[in-house]
Amino acid sequence: AQKVTQAQTEISVVEKEDVTLDCVYETRDTTYYLFWYKQPPSGELVFLIRRNSFDEQNEISGRYSWNFQKSTSSFNFTITASQVVDSAVYFCALEWYGTNRDDKIIFGKGTRLHILP
C-alpha cells in the first residue's frame, strides 16, 4: 500500500537555526513522484518541490534543500537559517500511477513548524 509518514507533528526552533523535516514513504511502484508543499496560515498549499523516482540528486534552492534517498525511502527537507516567515505546516506527498493508469496522490499528515523570534 502507498503511504506517507511525517513523524514530526510539531517542531519549534529559534530563528536562524537549521531545521529538518522528515518524510518517509512506502510504495511498490518504481515510477513515482514526491512533493513538498507549504501551508501558511492563509490556508492555500504552495508547491515547493517535486522529485521523480529516477532522480536522486539532492536539490538546493536558497535556504531550502532536499535530500532524496531511495535506499531509506526518505525525502527530507531542510531549512537553513530559518526565518519567522517559514512558520507554516509542511506536507510531503507521494504521487503514482493507479490501476487505471490515472495518477493518485496522497499527503502526509504534515509537520507544523514554529520559528520563534
Partner 1 sequence: EAGVAQSPRYKIIEKRQSVAFWCNPISGHATLYWYQQILGQGPKLLIQFQNNGVVDDSQLPKDRFSAERLKGVDSTLKIQPAKLEDSAVYLCASSLEGGGLPGEKLFFGSGTQLSVL
Kindly give the pairing relationship between strand 19-21 and strand 74-79. Answer: antiparallel
> Which residues 62-81 are close enough to bind partner 1 by CB under 8 A?
none
* Min dist. Cβ of residue 10 to partner 1 (A): 10
Q: How far apart are CA 29 and CA 15, in angstroms?
A: 39
Q: Which is nearer to partner 1, 93 or 113 (CB)?
A: 93
Handedness of CA 3, 7, 10, 14 (dihedral sign): negative
Does residue 44 interact with partner 1 by CB under 8 A? yes
* Min dist. Cβ of residue 44 to partner 1 (A): 4
* Min dist. Cβ of residue 95 to partner 1 (A): 5
Does residue 104 interact with partner 1 by CB under 8 A? yes
**SS3 of 16-77:** CCCEEECCEEECCCCCEEEEEEEECCCCCCEEEEEEECCCCCCEEECCEEEEEEHHHCEEEE
Q: Which is nearer to partner 1, 65 or 104 (CB)?
A: 104
Residues near partner 1 (CB under 8 A): 4, 31-33, 35, 37, 42-47, 50, 52, 91, 93, 95-98, 101-110
